[in-house]
Amino acid sequence: MLDTKRLPAPLRVLIGSQFGLFFLGNNLSLVGTWMQRLACGWLVWQWTHSAFWLGILAAGDLLPGMVIGPFAGVVADRWNRLRLNMYAQIASAVLAVLTAVLIAMDELGLIGLVLLITAQGTLAAAIQPARLAMVQQMVPREQTGTAVALSSVSVNLARLVGPAVAGIMILKMDISWVFIINALFTLILVIILTRLRLAPQRIPPRAHSFFSEMIEGFTHILRDQALWLILLVMLCGGSMVRAMMELIPAIAAGTFSGDATGLAVLTGAGAFGAVASGLAMGPGRAPHLLYGILPWWGIGAVAAIVLAQSQSSAIAVVAAMVIGFTVTRSLVSTQIFVQLTTPERLRGRVLSVHGLIARGSPAIGALIIGFAADRIGLTLTVEVSSGVLIVLLLALVPMISRAALGVEEAA
């Protein structure tokens, strides 16, 4: 019998565990999701050649989380998280099949595609708090940091593999097959979810109304200076740096030959950096996680300027990798911090706000940057937004330092 205690921390979390089974299915589903995202971006760029419409697509995919995220957090704390995940994945597969059929029949236009992606974005936002909160039902508390880092690796490995596969498929066959494969991978995850056996979920008695519980989650964040500060930094970084990855089709058109291969290469480069970042993450202590986010976002802002200015495909690839590495380092640190410092009874609600910012900030940023880029140029727009972020990060240094000291004293 294998002695898992002698294995590296990531392997201990994966081998022979419920999380390992979930990790496998989630990887496949995420590969399909990123295949579909590249295909959608490719279609929109071919139809419009507009960075603004790429921003609209990103907003449709990500903005629903800003509306339903807080409600989804209460649902994640009130109802069975595993079943919620199963139902949402089934609905997502149905939407992917519908999109594929409409594309194959040449019946899908720009507005229709945005609406379908908005529907899928709504489902993803609705289930995100339950999916994130499930992690601590699959692993012991001391393995939470490793599990969250591995989840990030899963997402970003999919960002690496998915666009590469989709780029080849777009060149070799009808683009509708990308959506069919996404549906099949999603259904595999559904089958795996039916086999999971999680630790019992503590569902508190419903002593308060739905809205009262939602407000309780926001109140907890506002009372915890370290918590709202780290979420504020994620909001700023997500809207000014992470949003760049939503505009990759426009950047690829200027740096590469403009075909799907260049788009897949740049997207894959960002994902490669993100995977490397996730693998390099350790369990982490809350104070150190809080201290570290400022320099990582700052490096990402500089890399965003380099990417926007680059006329060389090699430099663009390196810049995309740096953005992928630094953004992932910051996002994973933030999520681990939230998981470790939030009481279980509030975890779904606090994670819903985390998810709201994680999904909403790049959508808003892509929309604003795309709108400005169509008028004053992408390079100048990114230089201004990244410069503003760097100034904000420097201004927050004293507050972050005091908050981290408070977390360390309370530990």
Domain spanning 16-200+208-410: CATH 1.20.1250.20: yes
Q: Is the pLDDT of residue 182 over 70?
A: yes
What gap in Å lies between CA 36 and CA 21, rounded to an integer? 23
pLDDT in tens, 340-376: 788 777 777 787 788 778 777 887 888 888 888 888 8
Give residue 1's pLDDT. 44
* Closest by Cα among 193, 66, 213, 41 to 125: 66
Q: In angstroms, rounded to a whole number, what is the distance separating the alpha carbons of residues 348 and 358? A: 15
More confident of the two residues 87 and 339: 87
Average pLDDT over residues 14-34: 83
Domain ranges of the chain: 16-200+208-410
Average pLDDT of 177-202?
A: 86
- Per residue in 263-314, pLDDT (tens digit) is 778 877 887 888 788 777 665 555 567 777 889 999 999 998 998 888 788 8
Q: Give per-residue pLDDT as tens, 205-216.
A: 665 666 777 777
Look at residues 32, 359, 79 and name the one whose alpha carbon lies nearest to residue 188.
32
pTM for this prediction: 0.69
d(CA 201, CA 351): 16
* Residue 337 CA, distance from chain mean position: 16
Confidence check: pLDDT of 187 > 80: yes
CB atoms within 10 A of CB 394: 11
Closest CA to 292 of 304, 280, 303: 280
